[in-house]
Chain A
Amino acid sequence: MFRKLHEPGAQALTLTIDGVPVRAEPGETVAAVLLRQQTAALRTTPVNESPRAPYCMMGVCFDCLAIVDGVASTQTCLVTVREGMRVERQFGKRSVLP
């Protein structure tokens, strides 16, 4: 998988992906962090439930959708990481019902 060319060092912050703490560098996008994980797939599609990973990294393809701080179907390539951010992978068709 992808890896960073340098370590963020003292500036590193921590977010969680499906509850697991992950280190990230200020300024990078959530999608970039997701691409470095063991499983880059961050969602399955709503109808056929086939796996998807971040792709265009510029807000066009809508393949990098995940639940960020409780907000589902967020384009993670357009969101920069924050300390304590909670990211969850999103599987299949989500429900808007409580």
Chain B
Amino acid sequence: MAKDYDYIVAGAGMVGAAIAAGLAGQGKRVLMLDGADTDLRAAKANFGLVWVQGKGYGNPHYQRLSRLAARLWPAFADELERETGIKLDYEQRGGLHFCLGQAQWDERALRMGQWQAQAAETGSCIDMLDRGGLERMFPAVRWGAEVSGASFGQMDGHVNPLRLLAALQAAFLSRGGALRSQHPVLDIQAQQGGGFLVHAGTEDHPTVYGASNVVLAAGLGSVALGPMVALDVPLRPQRGQLLVTERVAPLLPVPASGLRQTGEGTVMIGVTQEEVGYDLSTTTDAAVRMSRKALRVLPDLADARWVRHWSCLRVMTPDGVPVYAESTQYPGAWTALCHSGVTLASFHAGPFARALAERKLPDSLEIFHHERFDVSQAA
């Protein structure tokens, strides 16, 4: 029983599916357990940015990881599309962070300069564009009068996140992985001498699966699972709301922080960062603020119909930086938790899954261990 699988991955969202697909690609026997339809599922509501600029401000390791993931993305997307036949709408033609007024531009230029200096060896990937520079780079776009410029991140891009999730799961299955939906993990028991028994499904009729390794990648659901294998990671939900318009002809050629047009023409308008616990409400106040901000950047959006408004909960660690760790007490139990599952998907399916397959996280990932949140360690 204890060796049914080499790996059981708890969570079939953006992080779990990427890791599981990567492990299956390494020839491992992998079972991926997906939770209930009503679970929080950050992977089904995200913005779809593959984003580098500003990531890991104050944490150069996270900046380097984001840059690595972005560099891996083109080949990763190409392979995933060829393998699954699912079009990802992936583009890496740079991304914008808009500034309204001169003060915002000055502040952004300063911040991006500091951010780049924090990992200076990685080279520059930001161009600060003033209004004229922005107009020269995108001559067809009708920017709002207040737009003073933007920071342009050369490495930034975007992808259809729902298709990415579908493709990761499809690749996982075609590589021989097993997926059980409606199988939330109920209990994990570490076995003497190694290995784990994982109880999943309904309380009345749980199924027990055995594996040499378990990987917790269940987003906010990991809060309940972590203590079962001594991987207690402090996580909190952070609410993000966003608006989407009807599909319209192209008007924004590259994605921006909080504003992007999808390959099919939808304009996504975001985003909020709200500390409201597990409250999934949408609010008119946020809708007003987001649409006002978007109209200051692209006034022509006023004529587009707004068709949906939703919220979802980000998976946030105390410092916003990912957690990658193996349990000290129960070797073979691993966890991967982060907010940026889309950007980091190339890393999770590639180098991270390969490291897990070897049962050894590289030293370069030590900095991402959650012991950094332990007060006694920090002191």
Contact = CB atoms under 8 A, between A and B. Distances in A.
A97 B304 CA distance: 10
Given A46-B264, A46-B265, A73-B305, A94 B249 contact: yes
Interface string A37-67: 0000000001100000000000000100000
A96 B247 CA distance: 10
Contact of B248 (A62, A95, A98): A95
A93 B305 CA distance: 12
Contacts of A46: 246-248, 264-265
B264 A96 contact: no
Contacts of A95: 248-249, 251
Interface string A80-98: 0000000000000111111
Interface in B54-80: none
Interface string B71-102: 00000000000000000000000000000000
Nearest to A73: B305
Given A46-B264, A46-B265, A73-B305, A97 B251 contact: yes
Most chain B CB within a 10 A radius of its CB, from A73, A96, A98:
A96
A73 B305 CA distance: 7
Contacts of A94: 248-249
Contacts of A97: 142, 249, 251, 300
Nearest to B304: A96
B203 interface: no
Residue among A47, A73, A98 with the highest chain B CB neighbour number at 10 A: A73
Interface of B: 142, 246-249, 251, 264-265, 300-305, 307
Given A47-B247, A96-B304, 17 more contacts: A46-B264, A47-B264, A47-B265, A73-B305, A93-B249, A93-B265, A94-B248, A94-B249, A96-B248, A96-B251, A96-B300, A96-B301, A96-B302, A96-B303, A97-B251, A97-B300, A98-B300
6 contacts: A46-B248, A73-B246, A95-B248, A96-B303, A96-B304, A97-B251
